[in-house]
Structure 1
Amino acid sequence: MTESKPRIKIKAVMVPTTDSLSNLVANIGTNRDKRSHNYFGYEFVNQMELEAAYQSNWIARRIVDTPNEDALREWRTFNGKQSKLIETEERRLGVQQHYLDTCCWADLYGGAALLMVTGQDLSKPLDLDKVKKGGLKNLVVLDRWDIQPKDFNMTDPLQPNWMLPDNYMMVNGTQPIHYSHIIRRTGARLPRRLRMFEQGWGDSRLRRCMADLRDVVATKGGIASLVLEANVDTISVKGLQGALAGAQSDQITERYRMFGMLKSIVNLGLLDHDNEEYDRKSVAFSGLSQIMEQFMVWTAGAAEMPVTKLWGQSAAGLSATGEGDQNVYYDTIKAKQDGQMRRDLERLDQVLIRSALGNYPDDLEFEWNPLFQASGVEQAQEGLADAQADGIYLETGVIRPSHAMRRAQGKGTYAITDEQIAAQEKLEKDQDNAEFDKDDGADLPGFSLGGPDGDKQDADGKAQEETKGT
């Protein structure tokens, strides 16, 4: 019989940490140092407060909407001759607006989903081979509070939904939805343990800004209240305290109420010269604008947006144009496009393109349209440069007219149709064939046409060469 070993319980104790610098005399790095008791804690904001901030505060709405609207404003372009059919299908289903709503609700709540309605059984995996032309019936936008994740895959890391749900279910519903019918959009990135606490969803981008948003709104409200109290009228009366304690307190109150009313109507005040003194106290507002500006900068940093973009103000400083801030912001938007947005749309395109074309071509890809829109002068200069380059390439034979027409069609400057390009390509092919037939019978070095005339010409030429040599 073996003796059981006693169990040792380990209790986790939170110990405040400081940097390596310590000074017992100055209390730096010791328990008496006030900084040693600072620590970060979890901040949770409920759904109702997020919705209230989004509905009532324009800054909160801009934090959520503006980055997604900028990322999807110019949308995307497919390559190939069938791009028009895909664009038509996108307009029929409202893909751009539905995906924009999905991204906005994901940033507001931390997660959202786009349900693809194809007529197939939602409880079973989506079969892409069964999606025919017109097979995508509708797109339904759902936020994280509309659907409930079920049956998380925690055992098979080879599946595409590793650490994600196998199925979803509508709140208060009974229909299970397989994850393959869902385009899942998450909010800000979270560590794995917090992500599982949030049922696999991400963090709300607005929640990260809530503390700074409360501060900036409270500061603005405090400044507005100070404006109302910018000037305070004061009247000094000898023996006022005793008079208010007596029976004539109502008459005294009515007297100064009438004084304030008379001053407001005719801007005139009447006082007793010997017993009453009038004075006005003014509130100083110096420094308040700098405090407000610092709160604006801090909030913009939390929202990952330039101050000029979040607050809608022009760039400050001598010769400042804000172009640098705009470029940094567009780089952030571009990274967002090439990240989760591209993955989401590529999953959607597996169904969308089959619904538009009836199949899925292997060489079909899309590119995001440029975020920056050039001015009229800049567009004219760019068009002139392109035309000059095309002219040089046409003259040197690098490209053909059909190539230049295809490029002009892609830019959308002229209404060039595919039929016109096809006709030009046919004309060029016919010209190539005619030139080939013409060159097929031409004299080449070391080659002579057969027949008596050809032999006679060769003999005459040889005789002339011999005569010239002698």
Structure 2
Amino acid sequence: MAEEKENAPQEKKKQIDYDALSWGLNAPVNTEIKEFISVDDVRKKFGLPVTQGMDDDTRLGMDKNNVAFDTMFQSLTQHAIQEGQYPMSGFVGYAVLQQIAQNGMIRTCIQTVADDITREWIELTGGKNDSDDKLEKLDDVFNQKHIKSLINKAVAKTGYYGGCFIYIDTGTDDPSLPLVINSKSAEIKKDSKIDLVIIDPINVSPMEYNSINPLKKDYMKPRMWSVQGQPVHASRLITFTDNEPPMLLKPNYNFLGIPQAQILWDYVLHWNKSRTNAVNILDKLNLTVYKTSMSDVLAAENGIQLLDVKIKALQRYRNNNSVLVCDNEVESIENISQVISGATDIVRQALEFIAAINRTPAVKLLGISPSGFNSTGESDIRNYYDHVKAKQELYRDQIQTLINIYQLICFGEIDETISFKFKEIGGDDLANNVKIFKTQVDSLTALQNSGVIDNAEAREFVRTSEISGLDFLSEDVPEQPNPEDMQTMNPEQAQKQPEMKIDKNTEGLEAWQKKMLS
């Protein structure tokens, strides 16, 4: 009985020590980040700046009207919980997209495609009267107004946020009225001044749209937009959009498109997680295991502190020139080496998934040759340029609208025949063009020999070919001398005659090829 009483306080004290140790181990580590633990934290992070010169009540009122902090909080916390598993069935919100837009990989993907869409820019075509002068003047105006840079920024914003707007600022006091873009327009006429302003979609929301009758062409297309509370007619906004969402989800995406950044984000997070884990493997490349009696350590007074001292001593003197001393009976040291083969392949493959989703070759996006692809990557680059051409066509109507606007400003009327074409991206493949043209010449010669076409038709083909480099030829076919008459001529007379048609196997074609390749 006496022994039980004597042991009781010790057991109680031992239990208290375990509780204290358990509490210490459950304490949060220093690296834990809790930025958004409440809606107030989100409001502080994304609220309007206090430097705008307004009082707190006004600023908080604007916050409540302009930003849905509850939705932002839910999106941010959900994003943190998923830890890379980012299954989204709807719009994540512009606040989250603006955070995503700061990611280096996202910016590389979006900006690479946007830059290639506008890199070679456009060539104005068409025109009825004085077309050359009109096209030259329009081209100068586009350069002065930096339209190329404007379109580049709009395409990039479309990639980040799913769409954006260019506001046609004519100086009107009532932008809710429709804007007419023709020769009868009262706002856009010769020598009038306008400004083109890019509007971020976070400041725009739909006001009026047809959601009832799908038989109308304006079904689910807003007729009026609210730009920071001010009604603006849709005709005054040039809308850019990409990745059109399903019909039921269009209102969720602000009647724009699915952001390319949101599509890429899941793959970027997986790559970033694999990259981080691969780097962390280096910290575990050689794991030193210190074996001791943990029950004795936890039960002893100041046992944890003593263990910390031993481990710190081990870390301090741990190198190939140090000597480690430990208790041979109750302590031992073991070294475990980690195998890291294959880790880089996993990271590289995750990186290639990003390039695949963005439809951009890894050699173009990252400057590396993807594993399993051919060594040149020429076909991949060509497929990518085809993808860029398809993207360019998405913005044809927007660019044509700008051409019509500046026609009204420069000439007072719109020439419907004036249009444009996108210049060839990636530059002309000279060697490939030479091969193609040589094949065409062979085909033309065969058609001439069989009597299908004559010299005039063959000449017209090579003169108008974009890759021949013979556009300087006149339309008139020079007269060819009779071969029988050539035999009776003396050398001086033969030299005065025009040269005969170059055969495909003569030295003339080979000389032309060498000239083109040089």
TM-score by length of 2: 0.60
Aligned to 2:141: 89
Aligned to 1:123: 176
Aligned to 1:298: 353
Please state if 1:114 is matched with 2:166: yes
Please state if 1:208 is matched with 2:263: yes
In structure 2, what is the Cα distance between the partners aligned to 1:252 and 1:126?
A: 78
Task: Give the Å deviation of 1:202.
Answer: 2.0
Task: Give the Å deviation of 1:190.
Answer: 1.5
Aligned to 1:362: 416
Task: Give the Å deviation of 1:143.
Answer: 2.4
In structure 2, what is the Cα distance between the partners aligned to 1:157 and 1:247?
A: 79
Aligned to 1:105: 157
Bigger Rg, structure 1 or 2: 1
Give yes or no for contact 2:400–2:419 (8 Å, CA) kept in 1.
no
Please state if 1:144 is matched with 2:201: yes
In structure 1, what is the Cα distance between the partners aligned to 2:432 and 2:422?
A: 19
Task: Give the Å deviation of 1:109.
Answer: 1.7
Superposed CA deviations along residues 226-262 of structure 1, whole A, max 9, x for unmatched, are 222211223345x565256434734553244223213
TM-score by length of 1: 0.65
Task: Give the Å deviation of 1:371.
Answer: 0.8
Superposed CA deviations along residues 145-170 of structure 1, whole A, max 9, x for unmatched, are 21222111457889764431221221
RMSD between aligned residues = 4.2
Match of 1:279 among 334, 345, 358: 334
In structure 1, what is the Cα distance between the partners aligned to 2:115 and 2:202?
A: 23
Aligned to 2:483: none
In structure 2, what is the Cα distance between the partners aligned to 1:68 and 1:44?
A: 22
Of 189-198 and 138-147, deviating more is 189-198
In structure 1, what is the Cα distance between the partners aligned to 2:302 and 2:143?
A: 79
Give yes or no for contact 1:85–1:357 (8 Å, CA) kept in 2.
no
Please state if 1:181 is matched with 2:221: no
Q: Secondary structure at the match of 2:202?
A: coil
Give yes or no for contact 1:106–1:143 (8 Å, CA) kept in 2.
no
Give yes or no for contact 1:308–1:314 (8 Å, CA) kept in 2.
yes
Give yes or no for contact 2:164–2:198 (8 Å, CA) kept in 1.
yes
Task: Give the Å deviation of 1:273.
Answer: 8.0
Give yes or no for contact 2:291–2:332 (8 Å, CA) kept in 1.
yes
Give yes or no for contact 2:91–2:252 (8 Å, CA) kept in 1.
no
Match of 1:72 among 89, 94, 118: 118
- Alignment: residue pair count: 364
Task: Give the Å deviation of 1:116.
Answer: 1.1
Give yes or no for contact 1:109–1:144 (8 Å, CA) kept in 2.
yes
Match of 1:373 among 427, 449, 470: 427
Aligned to 1:313: 368
Give yes or no for contact 1:315–1:321 (8 Å, CA) kept in 2.
no
Give yes or no for contact 1:354–1:360 (8 Å, CA) kept in 2.
yes
Aligned amino acid, residue 49 of structure 1: V
User: Which blocks of at least 5 consecutive residues in structure 2 are unaligned?
Assistant: 1-86, 126-130, 439-454, 458-462, 475-518
Match of 1:51 among 87, 92, 98: 98
Aligned to 1:165: 222
Give yes or no for contact 1:188–1:203 (8 Å, CA) kept in 2.
yes
Superposed CA deviations along residues 270-320 of structure 1, whole A, max 9, x for unmatched, are 324845543321211123233323323333333233333343312445852
In structure 2, the CA distance between the partners of 1:381 and 1:283, relative to structure 1 (3 Å rule), is same
Give yes or no for contact 1:102–1:141 (8 Å, CA) kept in 2.
yes
In structure 2, what is the Cα distance between the partners aligned to 1:225 and 1:167?
A: 53
Q: Percent identity?
A: 21
In structure 2, the CA distance between the partners of 1:92 and 1:165, relative to structure 1 (3 Å rule), is same
Aligned to 1:329: 384
Q: How does 1:387-466 map to 2 (within 5 A)?
A: none
Give yes or no for contact 1:271–1:277 (8 Å, CA) kept in 2.
no
Aligned amino acid, residue 415 of structure 2: P
Aligned to 1:233: 288
Match of 1:352 among 389, 406, 423: 406
